[in-house]
A and B are shown apart, each in its own frame.
Chain A
Amino acid sequence: MSILVNSETRVLVQGITGREAADFTRESIRYGTRVVAGVTPGKGGSVVHGVPVYDSVRAAMRDSPCTATVISVPAPFAHDAAEEALANGLRLVVVLTERIPRKDVVSILETAQTVGATVIGPNTLGVISPGQARVGMCGGAADSIRIAYTSGHVGVMSRSGGMMTEIASLLTHSGIGQSTCVSIGGDAVVGSTFLDLLPKFEADEETQALVLFCEPGGSMEERLAEHLVRHKTRLPIFAFVAGRFTDRNQGLRFGHAAVIVEGTSGSPRGKIGALTRAGVTVAEKLSQIPHLVKTGLANRS
Chain B
Amino acid sequence: MRVLEFETKALLRSRGLSLPRGDVVISGPEALATARALGGPVVLKAQVPTGRRMKAGGVLFAATPEESSNLAESLLGRSINGFLVDRILVEERIAAEQEVFLAASYDRTNKRATLIASAAGGINVELAERVIRREFSTRYSPPDYLGREVAADLGLQGQGVNELGDVILDVARYFSNWDALLLELNPIVKDPKGHWWVADAHLELDDDAAFRQAELWRQVPRSTEWAQRRSKIERLAREIDDKDHRGVAGRMIAFDGDLGLLVGGGGASLTIMDSMLDAGLKPANYCEIGGNPSVWKVKELTKLVLGLPRVRKIAVIMNVVSNTRVDLVARGVIKGVLESGREPREVIAAFRIPGSWEAEGQAILRHYNVPSFGRETSIDQVVDAIRCQF
Q: Contact partner of B186 among A148, A256, A287, CB < 8 A?
A: A256
Residues of chain B within 8 A (CB-CB) of A262 are 108
A120 to chain B, nearest CB (A): 13
Interface residues of B in 91-149 (CB under 8 A from A): 101, 103-109, 111-114, 116, 118, 123, 125-126, 131, 133, 137-139
Q: Is B322 an interface residue (CB 8 A)?
A: yes
In the bound complex, CA of A138 to CA of B112 (Å): 28
Q: Does B67 contact A (CB under 8 A)?
A: no
- Among B182-214, those with CB < 8 Å from A are 182, 184, 186, 202, 204, 206, 208-209, 211-212
Say if the beta carbon of A169 comes within 8 Å of chain B.
Answer: yes
Residues of A within 8 A of B108 (CB): 188-189, 218-220, 261-262
Beta-carbon contact of B375 and A169 below 8 Å: yes
Expressed in whole angstroms, the Cα–Cα distance for A166 and B320 within the complex equals: 5
| Chain A residue at minimum C-beta to C-beta distance from B273 | A245
Q: Which residues of A contact B206 (CB under 8 A)?
A: 101-103
* Stretch of B15-23, B328-336, B361-369, B376-384 contacting A (4+ beta carbons < 8 Å): B376-384
Closest Cβ of chain B: how far from A178's Cβ, in Å? 14
Contacts of B375 in A (CB 8 A): 147-148, 169, 173
B270–A242 touching, CB < 8 Å: yes
A140-B356 in contact given A218-B108, A257-B184 (Cβ < 8 Å): yes
B109 near A219 with CB under 8 A, answer: yes
In the complex, whether B12 has a CB less than 8 A from a CB of chain A is no
Kindly specify which of A2-10, A44-52, A105-113, A231-239 makes contact with the partner chain: A105-113
Write out the residue numbers on chain B whose beta carbons fall within 8 Å of the beta carbon of A213. Answer: 267
Closest residue on chain A to residue B184 by CB atoms: A255
Distance (Å) between the CB of A197 and the closest chain B CB?
14
Q: Mark A18-53, 1 if CB is under 8 A from B, else 0.
A: 000000000000000000000000000000000000
Beyond A101-B179, A102-B209, is A287–B381 a contact (Cβ under 8 Å)? yes
Query: B270 — which chain A residues lie within 8 A by C-beta?
Result: 160, 215-216, 242-243, 245-246
Q: Could you say which residues of chain B place their CB within 8 Å of the CB of A141? A: 322-323, 356
Question: A40 to chain B: closest CB distance in Å?
Answer: 20
Given contacts A256-B186, A286-B271, 5 further A-B contacts (CB under 8 A): A75-B211, A141-B323, A163-B266, A254-B50, A256-B184
Contact residues in B for A248 (Cβ distance below 8 Å): 277
Q: Does B264 contact A (CB under 8 A)?
A: yes
User: A170 vs B381: C-alpha distance in the bound complex, in angstroms?
Assistant: 12
Hey, which bits of chain B sit against chain A, CB under 8 A?
Answer: 2, 50-52, 81, 101, 103-109, 111-114, 116, 118, 123, 125-126, 131, 133, 137-139, 176, 179, 181-182, 184, 186, 202, 204, 206, 208-209, 211-212, 264-268, 270-271, 273-275, 277, 319-323, 354-356, 375-376, 378-381
C-alpha gap A88/B322 in the complex (Å): 32
Partner of B322, one of A165, A244, A255, A287: A165
Docked-complex contact A173 and B376, CB < 8 angstroms: yes
Q: Quick check: A255 and B186 within 8 Å, CB to CB? A: yes
Residues of B within 8 A of A76 (CB): 211-212
A287 to B382, CA, bound (A): 11
A217 to chain B minimum Cβ distance, whole angstroms, is 9
Tally of A interface residues using CB under 8 Å: 63
Q: A285 at the A/B interface (Cβ < 8 Å)?
A: yes
Quick one: which of A66-93 are within 8 Å of B by CB?
Answer: 75-76
Q: Is the CB of B277 within 8 A of A245?
A: yes
Q: Which of A76, A139, A256, A287 is most buried by chain B, counting CB atoms within 10 A of its CB?
A: A256
Q: Please, how many angstroms separate the alpha-carbon atoms of A165 and B323 in the complex?
A: 12
CB neighbours (8 Å) of B181 from chain A are 102
Number of CB contacts from chain A to chain B under 8 A: 179
Using Cβ atoms and an 8 Å threshold, which residues of chain B touch A223?
A: 109
Q: Is A186 an interface residue, CB under 8 A from the partner?
A: yes
Chain B residues, CB < 8 A from A240: 271
A-B pairs with the 6 shortest C-beta distances?
A160-B267, A140-B322, A287-B378, A101-B209, A242-B270, A163-B267
**B106 touching A106, Cβ below 8 Å:** yes
Q: Are B186 and A162 in contact (CB under 8 A)?
A: no
Q: How far is the CA of A137 from the CA of B321 in the complex (A)?
A: 11
Is B126 a contact of A256 with CB atoms below 8 Å? yes
Chain A residues with CB under 8 A of B109 = 193, 219-220, 223
B321–A254 CB distance below 8 A = no
Whole-angstrom distance between the Cβ of A133 and the nearest chain B Cβ: 17
- A242 and B81 in contact, given A106-B113, A223-B109, A254-B2 (Cβ under 8 angstroms): no
Chain A residues with CB below 8 A from B266, complex form: 160-163, 186
**CB pair B380 A252 closer than 8 Å:** no
Q: Does chain B have a CB within 8 A of A100?
A: yes
State whether B380 touches A138 (Cβ < 8 A).
Answer: no
Please state if A107 and B138 are interface contacts (CB–CB under 8 Å): yes
Which residue in chain B gives the minimum CB-CB distance to A119?
B111
User: How far, in Å, is A228 (CB) from chain B's closest CB?
Assistant: 16
B321 to chain A, nearest CB (A): 7
Give the chain A neighbours of B112 by CB distance below 8 A: 106, 110
CA distance A160 to B51 in the complex (A): 29
Measured CB to CB, the closest approach of chain B to A124, in angstroms, equals: 12
User: Is A144 at the interface (CB under 8 A from chain B)?
Assistant: yes
Smallest CB gap from A285: residue in B: B380
Q: Which residues of B contact A170 (CB under 8 A)?
A: 378
Q: State whether A103 and B271 are in contact (beta carbons under 8 Å apart), knowing that A162-B319, A188-B108 are contacts in the complex.
A: no
The listed residue (A109, A189, A242, A258) touching B267 by CB distance below 8 A is A242
**Can you name the residue of chain A whose Cβ is closest to the Cβ of B383?**
A285
Are A103 and B322 touching (Cβ within 8 A)?
Answer: no
A203 within 8 A of B: no
Residue A153 is within 8 A (CB to CB) of chain B in the complex: no
Q: Is A158 an interface residue (CB 8 A)?
A: yes
- List chain B residues, Cβ under 8 A from A158: 267
Q: Which residues from A are CB-within-8-Å of B116?
A: 257, 260-261
Q: In the assembled complex, how far is the CB of residue A69 from the closest CB belonging to chain B, in whole angstroms?
A: 20
Please name all residues of chain A whose beta carbon is closer than 8 Å to the beta carbon of B176 when the two chains form the complex: 103
* List of A residues within 8 angstroms of B133 by Cβ: 261
A229 on the B face (CB < 8 A): no
The answer on a CB contact under 8 Å between A255 and B51 is yes
- Tell whether A271 is near chain B: CB-to-CB under 8 Å: no
Given the interface contacts A218-B108, A261-B107, A287-B380, does A245 sit within 8 Å of B274 by beta carbon? yes
